[in-house]
Amino acid sequence: MPAVHLPEGPRATTAALTLAVFALHLWLARHIPGPSVILDEAGYLGNARWLAGQHPVFEMPVSPSYGFGYSLLLVPLQWVTTEPIWLWRGVLVVNAILLSALIPLLAALGRRVLGLTANAALVAAAVGSLVPAATSGGVSALSENLALPLVVATALALHRALQPGHLLRRCWFGPFVALLYASHPRFTTLVGVAVVALAVIGWRRMAPRAVVAANLVALLGLTVATRVVQARLIDARWSQVDSLEGGSGDAWMLLTGSSGLRGLATSALGQGWYLAASGLGLSVLGVGLVGSMAAGREPGVIAPASGPGRTTAAVLLAGAIGVFVTSVYFFTQTQFRADHLVYGRHNDSYAPVWAAAGMALLLRLRSGAALGRWLLAAAGVLVVLSIGVVLLVDPTIYGGTFAYFAVPGISRAIGDPASGTYLRASAMAAAGLALIAAMAWGLRRPRLLAVPLVVWFAWSGIGRIQDVESFAGATYRDWHLPAQVEALDLGSADLDADATRGATVLSYQFWMPEVTFHIYEPKLGERAEGPYVFAPLEDVGLPPRGARLALIDDGGFYEFRGTPAGMALWVLPGPEQDDLAARGLLLPDGFPTVLPTRARRGRLEILDRPDQVQVVSGQRVQLTVSGRHLGRGSPWPDRSSYRGEQRVRITADIVPLEPAGVLGAPSGGELPAWIRPGEGFTTTVDIFALGQVLQPLPPGRYRVTLGIGQPDGGWFVGSGPATTFTMLVTPP
């Protein structure tokens, strides 16, 4: 890739803005502990591992395949480390580098193609680089992180190919288009657009034949190479690829049947509305400017575009239309969430360009009358699309479920009631467009718009990041499965493909790179061969085969139909099961059940135990305890692994020492992890001054005794002087 030359003028300012955006992305991603868009990220992260030549490779269930363009950039990380946590942090840094590159790229686009001065180009770049798709994208290992800057770089490469200069600096358009195609199939039509564009450029002699030939050969050669590599990648990682878009027969039925045509029209309406609403109407202005440039008619603007600028604008617009058509077709065929009716993630590939171009239009208009006409046109488009979506598209379909990463531009409008999602988003867009009109037309200060627009876009994108933080936090909080599996020293394990809808399940291969996973498909009659099997806790086929439970994973899961209530590591009969059973590392047959008597031995003590603690009635006191599993025959499952009443926990027995008192509620605390025989732990417990029906305890003195047991197991051990103290309850 050639070096990106900063636009003439404020190079230091451009560099400072780029570093600021880089730091912003790192700061926004600081609390993201791991993959959250699990299926997609397993695709891209696994592709990187395969491209790096590392084993074992990620095996994928029946699912769509994923491009490898973005994964190429992650290969060096794989060569540096295979430690999952450091690898993930490296991914976040790569994302921040890619997305911060939007500043110099958009500034160059504004200067060279959109006809802005250097300072004005930076204003447009700042707005475009922080659209919700860009602000929120860096927290996930998704191809969008490459696609957003690469779309801009591709337009600049075409513009450069049409300018005089050295051949090597003019032949990057073809490779960049091929890389976009390698990144995601949404850019398939862009390959055709690029071929046609190069043919027209050569025919009209808009560039030397050597330049056209070099770009065309590179494009076609790399496209063929992409298909070859993708086929090998699929063969290595997928047993079967699920082509959700269907075949040619499905396409024909869709395009000729009345229901199919209605679906296409509805999807086009929804996705067009998302583009307008997510950009606050600014994207409508941007599309209008680029379309006018492509047509050679730019009413009301200062200094119409040059010939190379018009050609670049035409290819940009044609490429975006191709992505839009591809997305509309795909999500007419494939719908299982409400956001699929207005899907924005694919079309957001061009969102930075449209936002920057919309800002460029506001800065280039030479009269208030022209600005008024453009604003009225944008308002008309937004109003018509909003009315159509609110009246014709049902946001409560498929349970009203919206994935934030699919529609980041309207993340702040997603909520209860789901029926008002489109109306709320339309109202926000109308308010944003009104702000644009007030500042650009009313106050004649379009440059000042950069501040509220950047704040608005960043606020919307951060809404999606907050959702990711919440989901990833719930998924990975107190998730100890990788460390627990490492302690068992597994070399390989089978993985139930039916269970891979669970959030953490497909990330097993990322977090446990030392284990070779083999995915089996029960629906196809396949079965686990063992000895170790990751399958749902409620699996009905494994217990009759004598399988025993070695671990349980009750972490966060997506709420889809068929999602397992929990996963488990089963061990089939054989030497491995016998060895684990002898070491007391397997749960008893028939679990969930009471642990065997020999497993109910333990020690517990309160660190810095007080003789008496004082607490206000209805409040709590927190203590630190240490303990050890002294039994045999079974581990102690903790709450983060298994949330049922058969887990082992620390319970407080609260008995009144005065006649006026009442028995206290069984408060206490949870084990910090899955505890095997001989292992110790330290954790905190909360003692609540509450009665059996959760009423505040009457003031007085109570004896509190801590012990370890199963809530439904009828056993309570580890108590004694080291875990007994007096609690003085005082009036509130």
Distance CA 434, CA 392 (A): 25
| DSSP bridge partners of 533 | 494, 570
Q: Given a cut of 90, is residue 632 above it in pLDDT? A: yes
Distance CA 558, CA 572 (A): 28
Most confident of the following: 120-124, 164-168, 364-368: 120-124
For 629, list phi and psi in degrees, rounded to 5. Answer: -85, 110
| DSSP bridge partners of 605 | 626
Residue 367: what pLDDT?
74
E strand or H helix that includes residue 707: strand 700-709
- The tens digit of pLDDT for each residue in 222-239 reads 999 999 999 999 999 988
Q: How confident is the model at residue 455 (pLDDT cuts 50, 70, 90)?
A: confident
Residue 3 or 389, more confident: 389
Q: How far apart are the first and last CA of the chain?
A: 69
What does the pLDDT average to over 511-533?
90
Q: Given a cut of 60, is residue 709 above it in pLDDT? A: yes
| DSSP bridge partners of 519 | 495
Q: Given a cut of 90, is residue 250 above it in pLDDT? A: no
Distance CA 269, CA 392 (A): 9
Q: How confident is the model at residue 521 (pLDDT cuts 50, 70, 90)?
A: confident
The residue extents of the domains of the chain are 11-472, 484-582, 597-730
- Structure tokens, 459: 């606020």
Q: How confident is the model at residue 462 (pLDDT cuts 50, 70, 90)?
A: confident
- Given a contact cutoff of 8 angstroms between Cβ atoms, the answer to whether 537 and 552 are in contact is yes
- Given a contact cutoff of 8 angstroms between Cβ atoms, the answer to whether 358 and 116 are in contact is no
Q: Given a cut of 70, is residue 18 above it in pLDDT? A: yes
Average pLDDT of the chain?
Answer: 89
Q: How confident is the model at residue 6 (pLDDT cuts 50, 70, 90)?
A: very low
List the one residue out of 199, 204, 98 whose CA is nearest residue 149: 98
List the one residue out of 280, 307, 283 whose CA is nearest residue 296: 307
Distance CA 373, CA 547 (A): 72
Distance CA 16, CA 233 (A): 40
Q: Given a cut of 50, is residue 296 above it in pLDDT? A: yes
Q: What CATH superfamily is the domain 597-730? A: Immunoglobulins (2.60.40.10)
What does the pLDDT average to over 325-338?
88
List the one residue out of 59, 57, 65, 64 whose CA is nearest residue 519: 59
Residue 72: what pLDDT?
97
pLDDT over 90 for what percent of the chain? 60
Q: Given a cut of 60, is residue 263 above it in pLDDT? A: yes
Q: Given a cut of 90, is residue 547 above it in pLDDT? A: yes
What does the pLDDT average to over 530-548?
92
- Given a contact cutoff of 8 angstroms between Cβ atoms, the answer to whether 347 and 148 are in contact is no
Residue position matching structure tokens 């119409």: 304
Residue 256 or 61, more confident: 61
Residue 502, classed as helix, strand or coil, is coil
708 Cα distance to chain centroid: 39
435 Cα distance to chain centroid: 31
| Least confident stretch, 191-195, 246-250, 586-590 | 246-250
- The tens digit of pLDDT for each residue in 474-515 reads 778 788 899 999 989 899 999 998 887 665 777 899 999 999
Distance CA 629, CA 162 (A): 74
Neighbour count for residue 204 (Cβ, 10 Å): 10
pLDDT over 70 for what percent of the chain? 94
List the one residue out of 230, 121, 108, 213 whose CA is nearest residue 161: 213
Residue 73: what pLDDT?
97
- Structure tokens, 637: 């499952």
Dmax (CA) for the chain in angstroms is 102
List the one residue out of 193, 189, 192, 177 whose CA is nearest residue 226: 177
Q: How confident is the model at residue 248 (pLDDT cuts 50, 70, 90)?
A: low
List the one residue out of 432, 267, 292, 271 whose CA is nearest residue 360: 292
- Structure tokens, 181: 């195609």
- Per-position DSSP letters for 223-259, written without gaps between them: HHHHHHHHHHHHHHHBSSB--TT--HHHHHHHHHSHH
- Given a contact cutoff of 8 angstroms between Cβ atoms, the answer to whether 663 and 700 are in contact is no
